[in-house]
Structure 1
Amino acid sequence: MNKELKRVWVPGPVIIGAGPSGLAAGACLKEKGVPSLILERENCLASLWKLKTYDRLRLHLPKKFCELPYMDFPPEFPTYPTKQQFLNYLNDYANMFSIKPIFEEEVRLAEYDSNIGFWFVQTNNFEFVCQWLIVATGENSEPVTPELPQISNFRGRILHTSRYKNGYEFEGEKVLVVGCGNLGMEISLDLCNSGAQALISVRNMVHILPREILGLSTFGLSMWLLKWIPLKLVDLFLLLSSLFILGDTQRFGFKRPKIGPLDIKNTIGKTPVLDVGCLAKIRTGKIKVVPGVKNFTADGAQFIDGRVEEFDSIILATGYRSNVPSWLKEEEFFSKKDGYPITPFPNSWKGNNGLYSVGFTKRGLLGASLDAHKIAEDIAQQWNLNAKYMHLAL
């Protein structure tokens, strides 16, 4: 027998997700005088950051590119804040705007009723009814664990990066890291610094860039250059700078895509790796690069070039994906294939019937802030002029 859900009318928007994107949307709405209700499936703010990231994580971009609307990072924070500093910033942000999400309410179904013009959002305990629905669950809501050839043969430990905290529990082990994105590279470095021997399995082509060029953030410098010169010339500058600073990364086993790092980010959303020290360990042989896995064995793996390696553990740095298609019953705005808005940036923030998305731009926290401002402005106009009902108290 299905549990009877308590129905709750919400006067303003319902925001799904209490990560940075959801908080930014809530704060921008509050600045416009529009109340909102945030639903969060976990028991804390920014659950991905707090529960599913490794201890040594820092922001990949300088803090000025990661600030949420209306609140700067504390001046004493370093250029690249730590995980805990960022979590403290988000807690202070929620307190500043008196944002109080309803925790441990997982959305299981969200559907628009065209007959009455409202959204019905079902969680484990309630059914919320609202005129506006903001999806802020983000690009990384579910870990991706791909089917790898004969991985069930392996007798050692296997875990996704969402369960990895630090390398000390792997001290003395030989560990295969599957995936060479920012996650895979940083965790390999952490393993190496913790006394483990790390192997990075590289199957796909990847751009590796220095985190800074001439003492400036590579990202920040790129954004400034794009104001003056075409993207392809900026990409050429980045590749030449990378060659000068990092050397030819292809000789280590990292093949570069033919399309430039910014171009590939804009077209398919693939983020370049910003090196924070992993390449130095690869140069000295302390971290080993291996090709893609052909098949796993009880004690290790055979790789596509024929070589065989034994190792104690496998860490899957295979990324995350959106889970929106599993609960949002909507056909026009969000893609059923990948859970992203079908319309690309900069118009990916608004759908039909009061549906919005924040944090799906593939442009990090800066993109989420841009979305939040646009959404708040749009809803505020409707709130002030065309609200369908009086402001009801929950």
Structure 2
Amino acid sequence: MTQHTDVVVIGGGQSGLAAGYHLRRLGLDFVVLDAQATPGGAWQHTWDSLRLFSPAAYSSLPGRLMPPQADETYPDAAHVVAYLTDYEQRYDLPVHRPVRVTGVHRDGELLRVESDAGTWQARAVVSATGTWSRPFLPAVPGRTEFRGRQLHTVEYRGPKDFTGERVVVVGGGNSGAQIAADLAYDADLTWVTLREPRYLADDIDGRALFDHASARRRALDEGRTANGGVASLGDIVAVPPVRAARDAGFLKAQPMFDRITPTGVTWADGMTAEADAIIWCTGFRPALAHLAPLGVRGPRGHIPTDGTRAVAEPRLHLLGYGDWTGPASATLIGVGRPAREAARAIADLLR
């Protein structure tokens, strides 16, 4: 049986909910198809000690401030899951789950969205599937030879699983720093980064980063000289656990190793580190396989966009994958504006 609607939003995490909020305000008929069994998006699968980079008031979706978490300046992942669950219910967003979309196809004047729960025909589609389901592992010589445990950020839960073990954490971004800080007290830690860790000033949090990214986008849109973007400020937000481990001298990074051996890692100068586990905090790639039937990818797999709209398919909008779909659009505070712009563009298209 095929169902019909104006818009199908694929993904029920923070980006999909923000899109739903604005589509509802514009009076459009839509559904949100979410592959997760419960609300909360990727936040329900993160490690136990993860903290937001901003206070709750600056980590909110449109229309509803995130309430503060008791005794915590920077909320944890469980608080975010509770907030997203409440948000979905408060605005009575039509989320169907668990529904895994297998492909989006052109079907005359409509787009056909096929899934393991049936088929929808829509006049427009918002893809908001994020990146969490596509962890990236670099090709490092010897990686398949290692006899210990290897896991990615998505599989890490907490330090209790590594008490007393020798652990190599790879990655100089926020995830690498937070997980390294998490392990520093209970494991024999080796933290490895491509370059010397660059901490943002201790008083900079996610709100300042969003403002910086927005200022850069405005300058570029107006033809003015832009700032260097968020990357120019540093790579690591010094949330309290990271700051504490750094100031205690536990976060001393080593340069990237050259090879993995069956029992650890080695550097070109002969230095070695034995390891029971390697944790790869090496980022993600956009989860876009469901869009393959549309043939909208350009060189190197990138989908060219004009704002959030796919250049090769004006009925398709991409939301929440990073700066290429809106300044800071992969963050709670940043996704609201591109979600509003996408909903307005879809409303104009449907008229």
Give the corresponding residue for 1:247: none
Change (3 A) 1:209 1:189: same
2:344 to 353, 368, 377: 377
Q: Distance in 2 between matches of 1:338 and 1:210?
A: 35
Are positions 1:159 and 2:151 aligned together? yes
Give the corresponding residue for 1:360: 321
2:26 to 28, 32, 41: 32
TM norm structure 1: 0.76
Give the corresponding residue for 1:237: none
Are positions 1:145 and 2:106 aligned together? no
Change (3 A) 1:123 1:117: same
Are positions 1:342 and 2:304 aligned together? yes
Q: Distance in 1 between matches of 2:79 and 2:122?
A: 35
Give the corresponding residue for 1:392: none
Change (3 A) 1:80 1:349: farther
Give the corresponding residue for 1:308: 272
1:173 to 165, 178, 188: 165
Are positions 1:48 and 2:42 aligned together? yes
1:199 to 178, 190, 198: 190
Are positions 1:17 and 2:11 aligned together? yes
1:263 to 203, 210, 228: 228
Which segments of 5 or more consecutive residues in structure 1 lack a partner in the other structure? 1-5, 232-259, 387-394
Q: CA RMSD in A?
A: 3.0
Change (3 A) 1:326 1:148: farther
Change (3 A) 1:128 1:218: closer
Change (3 A) 1:82 1:288: same
How far has the Cα of 1:57 moved from its partner? Answer: 0.9
Q: Distance in 2 between matches of 1:107 and 1:208?
A: 39
Give the corresponding residue for 1:184: 176
User: 1:123-150 CA deviation, whole Å, 9 max, x = no partner?
Assistant: 1231211111001112444111222210
Are positions 1:292 and 2:252 aligned together? no
Change (3 A) 1:225 1:320: closer
- Quick check: 2:6–2:28 contact (8 Å CA) kept in 1? yes
User: 1:16-68 CA deviation, whole Å, 9 max, x = no partner?
Assistant: 000000011111111221121111122122331112x1111111123333211
Give the corresponding residue for 2:125: 133
Give the corresponding residue for 1:67: 60
Q: Distance in 1 between matches of 2:91 and 2:234?
A: 32
TM norm structure 2: 0.85
Q: Distance in 2 between matches of 1:154 and 1:76?
A: 41
Give the corresponding residue for 1:273: 236
User: 1:233-263 CA deviation, whole Å, 9 max, x = no partner?
Assistant: xxxxxxxxxxxxxxxxxxxxxxxxxxx9x62
SS in 2 for 1:145: coil
- Quick check: 2:54–2:74 contact (8 Å CA) kept in 1? yes
User: 1:249-301 CA deviation, whole Å, 9 max, x = no partner?
Assistant: xxxxxxxxxxx9x625479xx97211234365356553442221211112211
Between the two proteins, the alignment pairs up a number of residues equal to: 335
Which segments of 5 or more consecutive residues in structure 2 lack a partner in the other structure? 220-225
Q: Distance in 2 between matches of 1:225 and 1:21?
A: 18
- Quick check: 1:139–1:320 contact (8 Å CA) kept in 2? yes
- Quick check: 1:342–1:348 contact (8 Å CA) kept in 2? no
How far has the Cα of 1:207 moved from its partner? Answer: 3.1
Change (3 A) 1:59 1:42: same
Q: Distance in 2 between matches of 1:107 and 1:336?
A: 24
Q: Distance in 2 between matches of 1:367 and 1:99?
A: 20
